[in-house]
Amino acid sequence: MKFNKFVLALSIAVLAHTSAQAAEPQAGYVGVSLGQATVDDFCDGSETSCDDSALSLRVYGGTELNGFANLEFGYRYIDDVEVSGMFRGVAVAGAVNGHFVDTTFQLGMPEAGPFKVFTKAGLLLWRLNYEATASNGFMTVSESDSDTGVAFRTGLGVSFDVSDSVRLRADWDYLVNVGDEDETGETDVNVFSVGPEFRF
């Protein structure tokens, strides 16, 4: 309930601020970032092999509401995290990848020189795709499934102005409670990424 109230308050604040700024032309930007995502508690130590990190790609765009606040929308893809092991003589393996659509409100210090540091909070829609196989040496069985839901995201970032229209940006994103608690379990995802940003 507290989370829902926070989300509602954040949404109202963003909409109110956006409406107040609507009469003024605002600078926009687009960007792309590449990095690594790490899934918390994916490996528990009982597996033959486990890779809890994967490539992450995000494309995004936003508008600068004023000198210290931005409203941003993005799409992120996280490649497969994989696990394999033996269970009662059966070789099992699994992989999970994800698609994420997010909206984020950024708050940063006023620009001082070429650097800008900011924090962020927002919501994301997630879709996780699961694949699992089991083999006893004579027969192999494969299954696939997917889940969708809504989660909270936060993080920190820093940008550096290469020119008036180009920035280099580095981000840490923290995706909270991604996954279905009743089915496959929830997990947190840390993403570190870097990429160019173009202002217009």
Domain with 97, as residue range(s), is: 28-199
Asked if the structure places residue 15 within a domain, the reply is no
Q: How far apart are CA 104 and CA 106, in angstroms?
A: 6
Quick one: which of 155, 56, 57, 61 has its CA closest to 103? 61
Q: Is there a domain that residue 5 lies in?
A: no
Examine residue 12 and state whether it is found in any structural domain, yes or no.
no
User: Is 33 a domain residue?
Assistant: yes
Position 145 in a domain = yes
Instruction: Encode pLDDT of 96-136 as tens digits.
Output: 999 999 999 999 987 678 999 999 999 999 999 999 999 98
Looking up residue 104, the CATH number of its domain turns out to be 2.40.160.20
Q: Does the pTM exceed 0.95? A: no
Report which of 195, 119, 107 is spatially closest to residue 156, judged by C-alpha positions: 119
In a domain, 160, yes or no: yes
Residue 166: Cβ within 10 Å count: 13
Tally of structural domains, the chain: 1
Note whether residue 19 is domain-resident.
Answer: no
Distance (Å, whole) CA 90 – CA 86: 5
Under-70 pLDDT residues of the chain? 1-26, 46-47, 111
* Strand ranges, E, within 65-114: 69-87, 90-108
